[in-house]
């Protein structure tokens, strides 16, 4: 839904009605009627109105999601609210997701980086752990901004780019940052898709997933499992996969899940045994949902 509070305010200040707006901009009355209905104007129409009113287009409207959790995240992100849902999601998901993949940063250090943009690293913390923590914060921002877009290869590759650019891996000529892998890899001793198979398998996976009429929690978990089985990137697949799951939960009004580092043995078992026993991964992700619900309850945010 679109709120045109900025536009309504500008019209009121100038003493202009919608009929006059239509005449002055050359836009049809049908187009102008979209404002009262909360429908989205085209970029061309919005630009015309903004130029006529002497305003920036983005100042005239605000997109409001029907997903209350997503809207809270967007509102808090916009004003950089401290101590809210956005703050806790950034810290807890970034810490756990990175720690699952071997980061040496503690949750306290992760929180310090997010809150103060500084770090008391101590001895033995790799520079890439710090860089990728900062990148993960930006990746969550990207997810919140694009949550309601249809999932695509472009979005998935961009998440990988956000996470891995400017890292030591990015210095390797064969390491494809923001693109599918160039060399074969394995995960947990299991074979993954060969480089020349990745694009075809990813496109088929996305086609099947995006064809689902009403995406459920189980559909999102299934996509995550199949994505990790393909393992499309040279490195960073786990973190990108969990970011995709967050995006899709926010897109389809499903309570997100945060896999805690201390539960990673169950998470890995669920992924490795997905084809044989789907319940293990689903149960682990449900447990991750409970982790997110505890944050909602702590902040007194309704979720029923």
For tokens 């996509």, name the residue: 223
For tokens 């447990």, name the residue: 287
pLDDT in the model for residue 125: 81
Per residue of the chain (304 residues), give pLDDT as tens.
788 889 999 999 989 898 999 999 999 989 999 888 888 889 899 999 999 999 998 888 887 898 999 999 999 999 999 999 999 999 999 999 999 999 999 999 999 999 999 887 666 688 899 999 999 999 999 999 999 999 999 999 999 999 999 999 999 999 999 999 999 999 888 899 999 999 999 999 999 999 999 999 999 999 999 999 999 999 999 999 999 999 999 999 999 999 999 999 999 999 999 999 999 999 999 999 999 999 999 999 999 7
Residue 4 marked as a ligand binder = no
For tokens 């896999």, name the residue: 259
Phi, psi of 286 (to 5 degrees): -65, -40
Write out the catalytic residue numbers. Answer: 231
Q: What is the DSSP letter of 235?
A: S
pTM: 0.87
Residue 102 marked as a ligand binder = no
Residue 242 marked as a ligand binder = yes
User: What span, in angstroms and rounded, lies between the C-alpha atoms of 152 and 158?
Assistant: 10
Region 2-63: CATH code: 1.10.260.40
Instruction: Give the architecture (CATH level 2) of 68-299.
Output: Orthogonal Bundle (1.10)
The region, left, alpha or beta by phi > 0 then psi within -120 to 50, assigned to residue 183 is beta
For residue range 193-225, list pLDDT tens digits in order. 999 999 999 999 999 999 999 999 999 999 999
Residue 179 marked as a ligand binder = no
Ordered by start, the domain boundaries in the chain are 2-63, 68-299
């Amino acid at each position: 839904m679109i709120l045109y509070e900025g536009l309504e305010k500008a019209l009121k200040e100038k003493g202009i009605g919608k009929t006059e707006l239509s005449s002055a901009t050359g836009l049809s009355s049908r187009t102008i009627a979209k404002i009262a209905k909360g429908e989205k104007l085209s970029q061309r129409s919005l630009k015309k109105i903004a130029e006529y009113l002497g305003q920036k287009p983005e100042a005239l409207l605000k997109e409001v999601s029907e997903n209350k959790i997503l809207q809270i995240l967007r509102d808090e992100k916009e004003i950089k609210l401290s101590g809210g849902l956005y703050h806790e999601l950034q810290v807890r998901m970034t810490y756990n997701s990175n720690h699952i993949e071997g980061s040496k940063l503690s949750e306290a250090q992760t929180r310090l980086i997010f809150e103060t943009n500084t770090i008391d690293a101590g001895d033995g913390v790799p520079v890439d752990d710090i860089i990728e923590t900062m990148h993960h914060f930006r990746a969550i921002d990207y997810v919140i901004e694009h949550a309601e877009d249809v999932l695509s290869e472009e979005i998935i590759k961009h998440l990988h780019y956000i996470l891995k650019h400017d890292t030591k891996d990015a210095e390797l000529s064969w390491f494809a940052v923001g693109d599918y892998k160039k060399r074969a890899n394995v995960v947990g001793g299991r074979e993954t898709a060969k480089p020349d198979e990745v694009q075809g398998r990813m496109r088929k996976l996305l086609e099947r997933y995006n064809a689902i009429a009403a995406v459920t929690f189980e559909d999102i978990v299934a996509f995550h499992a199949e994505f990790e089985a393909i393992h499309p990137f040279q490195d960073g697949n786990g973190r990108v996969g969990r970011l995709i799951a967050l995006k899709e939960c926010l897109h389809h009004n499903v309570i997100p899940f945060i896999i805690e580092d201390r539960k990673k043995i169950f998470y890995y078992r669920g992924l490795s045994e997905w084809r044989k026993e789907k319940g293990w991964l689903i149960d682990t992700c449900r447990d991750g949902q409970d982790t997110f619900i505890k944050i909602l309850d702590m902040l007194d945010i309704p979720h029923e």
